[in-house]
Amino acid sequence: MSLFAIADTHLSFGTDKPMDIFSGWQDYEKRLENMWRSVVKDDDTVVVAGDISWAMSLEEAKEDFAFLDSLPGTKIIMKGNHDYWWSTKSKADRFFLENNMTTLKILHNNAYLVEGFSLCGTRGWSMECEKSEDKKVLLREVGRLEVSIAEGKKLGGELIVFLHYPPVSSGMIESGEISSVLEREGVKRCYYGHLHGASHRTAVNGEVNNVKYSLISGDYLKFCPKLIEKF
C-alpha cells in the first residue's frame, strides 16, 4: 500500500475547456491515466489537491468523476479555486453514492487516517490579500485548516497537510497566516498545487521553519502522482 498526491488535474470531459492549448498540457488526460495506472494500485490512496474539474455543477462533472473513479486507488479530493462544481461535502457524498462512485472521498473540515498518517487540508487562499474580502476568505481558510488538523489529531496519526494554494513563496521573509498554523501545530510535511508553467520557478520545494513543502501541480509532476509514503 502507498500514499500518493497530485493537484490540478483540470478535467473537462463534460465541458468545453481544453487545457492542451497551454504548453506542456498536450494530451494530458491520457498521459495522466497512463502515468496513474503505471504507479497506483487498487489498495493505494491518492490525494487530489484541488482544481479537479472545470465543470460548473456536480452533474456536469459526472464524466470527470467517473474517470477518476475508474482509476486505481482511493481518491481523497479537495477544493481548488476553479472547482465551481463544489457545493457541500454531504451533497458530493450523496452524488457519488447515487452514481456508484465508490472510490471518491471529500476532504473538507475533516481528516482521514491512512496507515498511521492523518491526512488534513483545505483549499487555502492567496498570500497577497490587499482587499478586505480576500482577507476574510484567507482567515476562513485558516479556520478550516485548524478544524481539519484538530480532526487529524483525534485520529492519532502523523499529520500531513495538503493545500491547493501555496502557503509559502521563495520571496517570503515572515510566515504567513497558513504557514504559521503548520508551524504551530507541528506539521512536518505540506503538499500544494495551483502553480503552473513559469510559476514553477517561484515554488518552494524544501524545508522552511521545520516544514517541508512540495509542489504537486499536475503539469509540474508531468501528470504522474507523487509518492508520499510506501507502507
Residue 94 is part of a domain; what is its CATH number?
3.60.21.10
Distance CA 7, CA 215 (A): 9
Task: Give the chain's length.
Answer: 231
Please give the Cα distance from 179 to 199 (Å, whole number). Answer: 19
Please say whether the dihedral angle defined by the alpha carbons of residues 224, 90, 127 and 211, taken in this order, is positive or negative: negative
The total number of structural domains that make up the chain: 1
Residue ranges making up the domain that contains 168: 2-230
Tens of pLDDT, residue by residue, the chain (231 residues): 999 999 999 999 988 887 877 888 999 999 999 999 999 999 999 999 999 999 999 999 999 999 999 999 999 999 999 999 999 999 999 999 999 999 999 999 999 999 999 999 999 998 877 788 888 999 999 999 999 999 999 999 999 999 999 999 887 767 899 999 999 999 999 999 999 999 999 899 999 999 999 999 999 999 999 999 999
Which string of b and e fits 12-32 if b means at least 16 CB within 10 Å? bbbbeeebeeeeebeebbeeb
- Choose among 69, 8, 1: nearest CA to 227: 1
Q: What is the pTM of this model?
A: 0.96
Mode of pairing for the β-strands spanning 2-6 and 104-106: unpaired
